[in-house]
Amino acid sequence: MSKIQNDSLQRIGWIGAGVMGASMAGHLRAAGHELYVYNRTRAKADTLIAAGAHWCDSPAEVAARVETLFTIVGYPDDVSAVYLGEDGVFAGAARKRNGANAGVAALKTVIDMTTSSPDLAREIAARATELNIAALDAPVSGGDVGAREARLAIMVGGDASAFAGSKPLFEILGANISHMGPAGAGQATKLANQILVAGNMIGACEALLYARRAGLDPGAVIDVIGKGAAGSWTINNLGPRIVAEDYAPGFFIEHFIKDMGLALQECERMRLELPGLQLVRDLYEALAKHGHARSGTQALYLGLAAMNGL
């Protein structure tokens, strides 16, 4: 990734150095931005620190030292703690405005890229507004490969002018970036995405199980059907991992269960019934109980294979 113009470089905070977050933060650092990082487990940020990022001891410390702050953590409770906790982002921003870290530009924009609750995104935006900070909810799709290759889809909710100002940063991280509406709209779009992913996943796994029972070469099947009407990111990217018996996580099952749960909560609030989504969530929950919570989502194949004695 080539560096951008020096006058566009800024101090950027990054909280969350997991499977996707570490790669994403690395792209910003490689583009020349000064990076300040925090993660609950410091060792996961070691690669970023070795590349020149500055370690911070808390979300509050990150917030007090940067102009733009990104988060990508695990669960809505984690998001709430990072932003609204006693040593969270907004506490640090408030202390900065009261005189700490003089000479460092105040925090202007926070961007949560966790898949979380639309209601929580709106709560964070309201609190940010009280501090004269712009807040964007910007969950992503594309998994570990999309994060590494900066090809993520990024769906953004929040103020349109804040989105426009942050778009050059989004363009370092992804290839398909869209402003979807006001606060919470990014999260709602991501939940629609996860509903579709759930359907694609069970379809891909069942297709490969059928191919196996029919005596076909599953790799050859993927090569053919992946280029036709049945083609999808799931069959073309995760299908080969299933064939190779590679169930390492690009996205953890436990996190996908969380996402489907959020979508089902929204459906209950809207009085919307989605039986397909409920079925896939139930299958994944059973798989997690059998020790696969930290496996990749493609491990659904194992659960379906076991049901069929394969």
> What is the set of active-site residues?
190
Count of all residues that appear for the chain in the document: 310
Q: How far apart are CA 293 and CA 310, in angstroms?
A: 21
